[in-house]
Amino acid sequence: MADLFLLFNHRLTETQARQAERELGVQHITHPPERISRLWSNVPPEPETIRGYLQPVFDWIDTTVGAGDFLLIQGDFGACHLVLAHISGSGIIPVYATTERRAIERRLADDTVQLTHTFRHVRFRIYGG
């Protein structure tokens, strides 16, 4: 059975975890070490390139995730693209979570607008699928 490894800025909900087990057939869900999570959640916007910044992420993937395992990749668009390119041809299955988003708009007395967004997990989707 495959495992699911996370490169994700949030914690999985119980619904997501159960769905990963049921629909993807994953046996274990593994969070990256804290230093990798911190790196992934704080990609700096200033550098022209972030490949060097992401090297510890690539190293973690290379030493931890195997062919046939799933890797949930969500975060900074450029970082996601670089990770997808890095794992291309490795047999690692890249996935992302899809959500249904609902927005509620309220006009306040001082003529400002308050927006509340609610996200509900729908499914995991394989990149490129």
In the predicted structure, residue 129 carries a pLDDT above the cut 80:
no
Full-model pTM = 0.86
Please say whether the beta carbons of 121 and 16 come within 8 A: yes
What is the share, in percent, of the chain residues with pLDDT greater than 90? 77
Note the pLDDT tens digit of each residue in 95-124.
999 988 888 998 988 889 998 888 888 999
Please say whether the beta carbons of 96 and 73 come within 8 A: yes
CA atoms of 12 and 6, how far apart (whole Å): 9
Of the candidates 28, 27, 35, the residue with the CA atom closest to the CA atom of residue 54: 35
* Letter string b/e over residues 103-113, b meaning 16 or more CB atoms within 10 A of that residue's CB: eeeeeeeeeee
Note the pLDDT tens digit of each residue in 33-56.
999 999 999 999 999 999 999 999
